[in-house]
């Protein structure tokens, strides 16, 4: 059994709870403003369907691809790093029942020098996760610890991509995203890239994608169960529009 000091758990919880959300319009209150929209796929829409508040909304993603297992990323956002330390990424997804198979996808790319975001340049770490919860809101959570020089490089970015993948050819599969957040927490900065993943489904994996890295255990987690992950796919280089 792994014993975790209560004071450490409380410290982690309080440090993250008061952090500012760096993602723009992560709650999709009235529209999709602040997000980059891929003009080459089925367009995402704002929906009057929210994870918690009837006064807010969410982003609806549709996949109408004629090809099976096709993944698209209709919504993306580039978020500037503000300090060294831990960064937490949280997203929630909902899949309505009565559809053919499919899944929602949350992917991220981290770079200390990416002036061309949302295109790819100088990626140091990348990863992601499927959300497969049907008729309920599923949760994705990812923590990274990042060392950056001072002052923080102007082009240091975390890119968040919200995607949807359809199992079968033809037809349409849809789902919703809401309550997206990226928060900075410098309490446990370590100087190394560390990936810590925990989800409400009890799954966990760790390990950096590239660069100096080490495997690490989340301080508030005892489960070592493996889970399916959604490795990011590099979409076509294309123009982006912002609403």
Residue-wise pLDDT tens digits, 10-66 = 344 444 455 789 999 999 999 999 999 999 999 999 999 999 877 899 999 999 999
Could you tell me if 184 and 22 are in contact, meaning their C-beta atoms sit under 8 angstroms apart?
yes
What mean pLDDT is reported for the chain? 75
Q: Is 136 exposed, middle or buried (0-12, 13-18, 19+ CB in 10 A)?
A: exposed
Q: How does DSSP classify residue 225?
A: -
Following DSSP, what letter does each residue of 133-171 receive, concatenated?
-BSSEEEEEEEEEE---SSPPTT-EEEEEEEEEESSSSS
- The CA dihedral of 95, 57, 164, 234, to the nearest 10 degrees, is -150
Q: What is the value of pTM for the model shown?
A: 0.73
Structure confidence by residue, pLDDT tens digits, 75-106: 999 999 988 888 999 999 999 999 999 999 99
Question: What is the pLDDT confidence band of residue 135, given thresholds at 50, 70 and 90?
Answer: very high
Q: What are the residue boundaries of the structural domains of the chain, listed by start?
A: 6-235
Whether residue 133 contacts residue 93, with contact meaning beta carbons closer than 8 Å, is answered with: yes
Cβ-proximal residues to 190 (8 Å cutoff; 6+ apart), any chain: 145, 147
The per-residue pLDDT for 102 is: 97
Give backbone dihedrals phi and psi of 67, rounded to 5 degrees, phi first.
Answer: -100, 140
Nearest to 91 by CA among 72, 100, 104: 104
Q: What's domain 6-235's architecture?
A: Sandwich (2.60)
């Amino acid at each position: 059994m792994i014993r975790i000091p209560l004071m450490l758990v409380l410290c982690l919880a309080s440090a993250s709870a008061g952090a500012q959300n760096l993602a723009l319009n992560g709650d999709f209150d009235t529209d999709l403003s602040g997000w980059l929209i891929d003009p080459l796929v089925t367009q995402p829409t704002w929906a009057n369907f929210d994870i918690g508040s009837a006064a807010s909304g969410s982003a609806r993603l549709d996949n109408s691809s004629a090809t099976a297992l096709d993944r698209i990323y209709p919504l993306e956002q580039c978020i500037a790093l503000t300090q060294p330390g831990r960064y937490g990424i949280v997203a929630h997804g909902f899949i309505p029942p009565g559809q053919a198979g499919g899944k929602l996808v949350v992917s991220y790319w981290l770079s200390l020098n990416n002036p061309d975001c949302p295109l790819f340049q100088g990626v140091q770490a990348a990863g992601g996760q499927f959300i497969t919860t049907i008729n309920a809101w599923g949760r994705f959570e990812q923590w990274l610890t990042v060392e950056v020089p001072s002052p923080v490089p102007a082009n240091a970015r975390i890119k968040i991509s919200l995607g949807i993948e359809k199992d079968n050819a033809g037809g349409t599969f849809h789902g919703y995203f809401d309550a997206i957040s990226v928060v900075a927490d410098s309490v446990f900065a370590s100087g190394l890239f560390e990936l810590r993943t925990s989800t409400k489904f009890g799954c966990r994996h760790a390990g950096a994608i590239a660069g100096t890295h080490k495997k690490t255990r989340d301080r508030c987690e005892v489960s070592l169960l493996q889970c399916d992950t959604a490795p990011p796919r590099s979409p076509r280089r294309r123009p982006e529009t912002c609403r």
